[in-house]
Every structure is written in C-alpha cells, then in structure tokens.
Amino acid sequence: MAHGARPTGLSAPVDLGRPISVYRVARAAYPLFDGSGAARFGARWTSAGRPVVYSSGSYAGALLEILAHARRPDLEVQYRCLVIHISSGTAIQEVVVAEVPDWTAADYLSSRAVGDQWLDRAETAVLRVPSITGRPHEHNYIINPQHQDVRKLDFDEPHDVVWDARLRP
C-alpha cells in the first residue's frame, strides 16, 4: 500500500456532521473507559494487548451485546452504563463491510486485522463497526482512549443498568 493510500476495509476519516451518543455497558467492578478489558482478552475488531473501549450506537444495542456474551448468572452482578457524546466536528472512520467479507467469522482474523490497522494508523479516536447482534441496522463504536481526540468527547455520569427480570435466570 502506498503511503497515504486508504487501507482496505477502512473509510477515510469523516465528520458525521452531527453529534452522536454511544453507550458503554460493563460490569461495575471494572473501569468503564480505560480499555483494559479489550486489551486483556481482545474482541471481534481488536487483538489482545490493544486497549480500546467498545460501545454501541444505542442503549438497547449495548445491552444486547452483553446478553450475547454473558452467561445468564452473570446478570446477577451489577452493570454500569457510560453515555459518551461524540461532538460534531470529531472525525471518525468506518469499516467498509464490502471490503471485509469475513468480518463475521468466528476466528476474528479479518475483522481484527482491520481494527488493529485502524489503531496502528491512529487517524481517528473512533471507529464505527457493524454490530453482529444488530445487523444490518445497528453499529458499534470502538474508541481509542489513548488518542488525542478523546478530549473532544463528553461523558455523562455512569448509571446502573436495570435488567428486565425476564432476562434473569
């Protein structure tokens, strides 16, 4: 790839032209915005050893992501939600799904290659990715907490997640 060329699977940085809010839900016992969980285990879009914060474009989407990964007894522990506001004027990048045909593969190889490349290039603090649990309508947002543009984000005070009793074991 020539210097400056757009990498496969990533859009050019763009300003969405409007503010958006994203939702980070995690166990209350862990920090909500340091990226340590993703760094410890890795996830669909990033390899282990890379601190990032996974969030969703809706509160319901964030809860669905937890339900997809948690065992039902895990819902007995306290979860917290952090609402993150991405202001208009903050550039983000997006995964170009047509260029990453195996992004849903269980081995995460192609999706992690794109996410790791995004982190290495460090062009934006935010990467918009498709949500496997909410496709084709929902998106998740990966945030690099070490990027300089994180200072452009605003945060609400975290609040407790209240699970519907029908979801509990």
Q: Residue 23: helix, strand or coil by DSSP?
A: strand
Question: In sequence order, what E strands does the chain have?
Answer: 14-15, 20-27, 53-56, 79-86, 91-94, 126-130, 139-143, 153-155, 159-160
Average pLDDT per block of 10 residues along the chain, 169 residues long = 68 93 96 94 95 97 91 82 96 95 94 97 97 93 97 97 84
Number of C-alpha atoms within 13 angstroms, CB side, residue 129? 28
Q: Token digits for 123?
A: 């062009």
Residue type, 70: A
Check residue 34 and give its pLDDT.
94
State the Cα–Cα distance between residues 72 and 84, nearest whole angstrom.
27
CB atoms within 10 A of CB 137: 10
Q: Token digits for 138?
A: 């929902």
Check residue 169 and give its pLDDT.
66
Residue corresponding to tokens 């990715």: 129
Region label for 27, one of left (φ > 0), alpha (ψ between -120 and 50) or beta (otherwise): beta
Check residue 2 and give its pLDDT.
41
pTM of the model: 0.93
Q: What residue ranges do the domains of the chain occupy?
A: 14-152
The closest of 103, 167, 127, 161 to 22, measured between CA atoms, is 127
Check residue 21 and give its pLDDT.
98
Check residue 168 and give its pLDDT.
73
Q: Which residues contact 49 (CB under 8 A, 6 or more apart)?
A: 39, 42
Q: Would you say 39 and 33 are in contact if contact means Cβ atoms under 8 Å apart?
A: no
Q: Would you say 76 and 1 are in contact if contact means Cβ atoms under 8 Å apart?
A: no
Q: Would you say 78 and 27 are in contact if contact means Cβ atoms under 8 Å apart?
A: yes
